[in-house]
Chains A and B, each alone.
Chain A
Amino acid sequence: MVTIFALTVFFIIWRPFGINESIPTSIAAACILLLGIVPFKDVLTIFETVSGASITILSTIVMSIVLESIGFFRWAAINLALKSRGSGVLLFWYIILLCFLMTLFFNNDGSILITTPIIIQTLSLLRLKPAQQVPYLISGALVATAASAPIGVSNLANLIALKIVGLDLNAYATMMFVPSMVGIACIAVLLYVYFKKDIPITFQNHSKPKDLNNLLSEYPTKKLSHPLAAKTLGQENIDWKMFRICIGVVVLTRISFFALAPFGIPTEWPAIIGAILLIMIRWYKKKIGAKDILKKSPWHILLFAFSMYVIIYGLHNVGLTAVIVDELGGAVAKDPFYAIFITGMLLTVLSNVCNNLPSIMIGTFSIKEMGLSLQTMQVAYLANVIGADIGSLILPMGTLATLLWFYTLRQYKIPMNWGKYLRVTLFVIPVSLALSLLSLYVWTTYFVF
């Protein structure tokens, strides 16, 4: 079982010939089911656990695909270039803010895939060389990935684990928003301190982009265009009404997750309705059908989440979680402080060794088996999330989003390697992780419970 798990993780990270990550997980899950490690009777229960979370994330991705197809994100690069007013420091903070917001309203993987080309476009507009772009790109990627912690709906793993421990979205946000924001703020400040010398004070070649036409005339080169963009800038009329309606649908969908949770309405319903609304608006205004959505949507997410859960369930059945429970259960049960720091650190190590998606499931299974009080179990789970969303950023293989980011940089020929990445993360992540965990303890002990 451990060999199957190790091979699966190896193939997810390596992805030979660019194979989809759901292929190794599906093969491993099929082997586990055929070997009887997970009985077939549990398949339906597993499907019920993962399907809601997967559909929610899938719907969010569909929303971003629809918005991308109508050129919703095409102005972001120009806006960043204009708003920074020739200041490298201002641009740094705007990029951090944009990456945070994109993850808050979409999800971490989608945010990385959308914002990385936007940042590269902005920096190319401002004529920064590829090596000068690195501080902005790393900072954006780290914040975009960590930003999936404050609300539970920005990350597939968080949503699945949320269901396992029986927390609702509002309770999650009440306990988690402040501590994870402290962690994200710490990451941003430390990144600024680390890159302060590398960030240009002003842009020499494009010190004050006064005229939008100057930017537009430089913009529509093939190199700078977004991979999913249909047309270049300035080639078609802007439908302002449609733009405002679309952003309204995105924000309302997010709000309805929290508004409908107390009535027991699962997150997938508002997510599906939001996605359908956007598809209908696009059809009404642009007369574009849903064919491209069917083609571009990552339907394999459902299979990936299901297969990964089967694998972790298999590890649980052969006694891996029992080992964790035996070794750490006593210490975790002592006090919420121990629970937070032990589970947070455990998840950091596990995520960096074998990716955060399986790790958070292993961690959550273990917590459930430890026989903790409800309060301790909930804070231990939240510490799990901090370990999986922030602690996992030390190594690139810690999260799927970071691996996607590396892949995107290679496409744009931006010089980046694991050594460069590790030097930054070792400076930024351990301190931010410790501060987040401490904030979680202080916040939940003195303000929530």
Chain B
Amino acid sequence: MAKHETPLLDQLESGPWPSFVSDLKQQAEVRAKNEAGIEFQMPQDCCEDLLGVLELSYKHGRTHWKHGGIVGVFGYGGGVIGRYCDQPEMFPGVEAFHTLRVNQPAGKYYTTKYLRDIMELWNRRGSGLTNMHGATGDIVLLGTTTPQLEEIFFELTHRLNQDLGGSGSNLRTPADCLGQSRCEFACYDTQDLCHFLTNEYQDELHRPAFPYKFKFKFDGCPNCCVASIARSDMSFIGTWKDDIRIDQDAVNKYVENDPAYPPEGGAHKGSRDWGEFDIEKEVIDLCPTHCMKFENKKLYIDDANCTRCMHCINVMPRALKPGKETGCSILIGAKAPILDGAQMGSLLVPFMPVNAENDYEEITDLIDKIWDWWMEEAKNRERVGELLKRQGFQKLLEVTELKALPQHVQYPRENPYVFWREDEVPGGFTRDIKEFRKFHQR
């Protein structure tokens, strides 16, 4: 018999999707039975109380959670998010139910031992409920009490060699795709760059001084599996400078419907009969810039007009590969829709070499310039994308000391007014009137 009746929550289990309500009930049962003999440091029935408070919230149509507070671990200003229930008498198990963010490893590679160790700690000192992974990429540990925070932090750092992630006005935990470890499209080592910047900016990750959150995300290629272009203040997307590599023999194997060359690497095989592969319909006609043609059994790509959409490479991965001169594009200012609506990143650097040998100096230089500008100029709780909108892209180019490039222009002549600064005009704004009159009458 459940501790609290939850008719409204029970309805959520009736749909076709896996339900978090079922997960919570399962965990509540596991804790109640405690077959593993865990010495719980958190109320044993916390999951039942969690279900209860959620049911009450649905009934009342209002939240019973209080958000935030003075919770943290010594020396850290992020990684712990305070949650308190405003009905502690009814639901004592979730009176304090803080969230911890744990910095996931680059590429999210885990050993099973590591996961077991984390769960052993979390079942003992927390609710045992997790979110794998949160939107920022962290392992999210849901629900513990204030006295457990330092204990958990000590065990994480001393026994599991594991740090907390970012929250609040911090650099948030950098997140990446698994990059060159498994993916042939990756144009740079996302894991190395992600790991390097995580270490380089430890102070920014743990000690808040930004106007608001700041997120880095790293995608190895323009397929953008991490969706850095939409979800990070500073997005690093792998790209190439030279031409797409074409294996013409392999292209013809695709065209001939050779079974060893299934389109999309066979990804959609079996879901339905897609018919014979048609290079014109499935590749050439879908190229967004129409920069391809297939004539006399030869594929031509006008690379100068390629926008790196990746479609042709995704469809014919055995025939086409990204070029060899690889690096990344850097975009600025994506964010979720709290103010002014959602925003995608704006291209700032079309191509930047990703060079581990000089400790990614070009990248860290750029980051430092952007942070200096944002910290000085942004209002409280203003994301860098909002500052960019408020002060203009030209200002961003100024502070980053970058030259305006055609790639910065989405489409020309949106604004017919050009405002020159005095230092951009030869001779400035003052002029010799006599010299002027030599050429122009009054």
Do these two chains interact?
no
Residue numbers of A with Cβ under 8 A of B are none
Contacts from B to A (Cβ < 8 Å)? none
